[in-house]
Amino acid sequence: MIRAVGLTKSFGDFEAVKGIDLDVCRGEAFGFLGPNGAGKSSTMRMIAAVSPVSGGELTILGMDPAVDGPAIRGRLGVCPQEDTLDSELNVRDNLVVYARYFGIGRTDSRARADELLEFVNLTEKAKARVEDLSGGMKRRLTIARSLVSSPELLLLDEPTTGLDPQARHLLWDQLFRLKQQGVTLVITTHYMDEAEQLCDRLVVMDKGLIAAEGSPRDLIRRYSTREVAEVRFGVSDDDNPHEAYADQLADLGDRVEVLPDRLLVYAEDGDTVLEAVHTRGLRPVATLVRRSTLEDVFLRLTGRTLID
């Protein structure tokens, strides 16, 4: 569906995407995981055939976006990072006019709008003004709008940013249903749980480059341990430097990460690590054992957390 080789994007002297290779297959849910400014949205805009490629090769649905932009866009659904809904129109009209852009006739556009409102649970809000909707409802409407043309490929740029947990789960459910219907999903996110929930395969992006690629489980296995013991010793300062604890914990796991508020000990068995911590006479103020996540993968690959 999407193939990129050495893809770059520059804005003047600034290089947002510095040469990435990608292959997205039909029917898969593919993710770009990375912090803000990693180059995810710039890549998405190139894939959406709205932003010209600066260098390298990009093929979408077998076509070149520089030559076949309209044909490509006709087969894509795009849910942009910022809502681009028309606040002067009501909820249903937003869908109807958008369907017309794809050449869908008036009667069919209305039927399609009603069907999609049902799909995203907004039928009751059909006549409401867009500005009266909650953030979650607006996102759902934007997703409904991206589906008016029954796209083969759906691009979702940070689909759940700014939503409360309940709204996020509702959206994930709807995206999961689309995936089951065979729609190829390409998602950017800086939420590791979203990437884990939705993506079959993902790339970790940082500073315009791909740091790693694989399935969430595969990445965790490759770049992290099964469990993580989180140990808190209060605030790190000159009198209580966390680095000193790191030296004492170093041999308890594969590696130790020092964060401003806690230390992470990566090991196969977190409980054993905590027992050893206590045996050594260390008295942490709080401890926690958890499974490794993509956040740990990102920390390992870049030395930074996803949300700084």
Partner 1 sequence: MSTLAPTGQLSTTAALARLLPYWFTVARRTWRGSVVSSLLNPVFYVLAMGVLLGGYIDGDPERLDGATSYLAFIVPGLVAAHAMQTAVADTSWPVFSNFKWNKVYDSMVATPITVRQVAIAHLSFVALRVAATCAIFDLVIAFFGVFETWWGPFVALGAQALTGAAFATLMYGFACRIESDAAFGVVFRIGIFPLFLFSGAFFPVSNLGPVGERLAQLTPLWHGVNLSRMFSIDRIDWSLATLNLGVLVAVLAIGSWWAVTGLEKRLTT
By CB under 8 A, tell whether 126 contacts partner 1. Answer: no
Tell me the site size for partner 1, rule CB under 8 A. Answer: 37
Q: Considering only residues 71, 235, 244, 282, which one is a binding residue for partner 1 as defined by CB under 8 A?
A: 71
Site string for partner 1, 231-250 (x = CB under 8 A): --------------------
- Is 11 or 176 the residue whose CB approaches partner 1 more closely? 11
Contact with partner 1 (CB under 8 A) among 103, 162, 234, 241: 103
Q: How far is the CB of 70 from partner 1 (least distance, A)?
A: 4
Q: What's the half-sphere exposure (Cβ side, CA atoms, 13 Å) at 119? A: 25
Judged by CB under 8 A, which of 68, 115, 218, 269 binds partner 1?
A: 68
Nearest-approach distance from CB 76 to partner 1, in angstroms? 8
CA neighbours closer than 13 Å in the CB half-sphere of residue 244: 9
- 5 forms bridges with which residues in the sheet? 57
Q: Name the one range near partner 1 by CB under 8 A: 22-30, 87-95, 247-255, 279-287.
A: 87-95
Residues 6-65 that bind partner 1 (CB under 8 A): 11, 48, 50-52, 63
- 73 lines the binding site for partner 1 (CB under 8 A): yes
Per DSSP, the three-state class of 274 is: helix
Q: Give the range of 99-107, 161-169, 174-182, 295-303 binding partner 1 by CB under 8 A.
A: 99-107
Q: Does 256 bind partner 1 (CB under 8 A)?
A: no
Residue 65 CB, nearest approach to partner 1 (Å): 10
How far, in Å, CA of 277 to CA of 283, rounded?
Answer: 8
Tell the smallest beta-carbon distance from residue 81 to partner 1 (Å).
11
CA separation for the pair 64, 7 (Å, rounded): 13
- Single out the residue of 57, 82, 247, 271 in contact with partner 1 (rule: CB under 8 A): 82
Other C-beta atoms closer than 10 Å to the C-beta of 192 total 22
CB 186 within 8 Å of CB 155: yes
If one asks whether residue 108 binds partner 1 (CB under 8 A), the answer comes out as no
Neighbours of 118 (CB within 10 A): 12
Please give the span between the terminal C-alpha atoms of the chain, in angstroms, as a whole number: 33
Residues 139-158 that bind partner 1 (CB under 8 A): 145, 149
To the nearest 10°, report the CA torsion of 287, 290, 296, 300: 70
Pairing of strands 153-157, 76-79: parallel
- Strands laid side by side in the 14-24 sheet: 14-24, 2-11, 55-60
Distance CA 39, CA 8 (A): 10
Q: How far apart are CA 236 and CA 256, in angstroms?
A: 15
Query: Minimum Å distance from CB 49 to partner 1?
Result: 9
Q: Which is nearer to partner 1, 184 or 236 (CB)?
A: 184
Of the candidate residues 3, 102, 209, 246, the single one contacting partner 1 (CB under 8 A) = 102
SS3 assignment, position 2? strand
d(Cα 33, Cα 306) in Å, to the nearest integer? 9
Footprint of partner 1 (CB under 8 A): 11, 48, 50-52, 63, 67-74, 76, 78, 80, 82-90, 93, 96-98, 100-103, 106, 145, 149
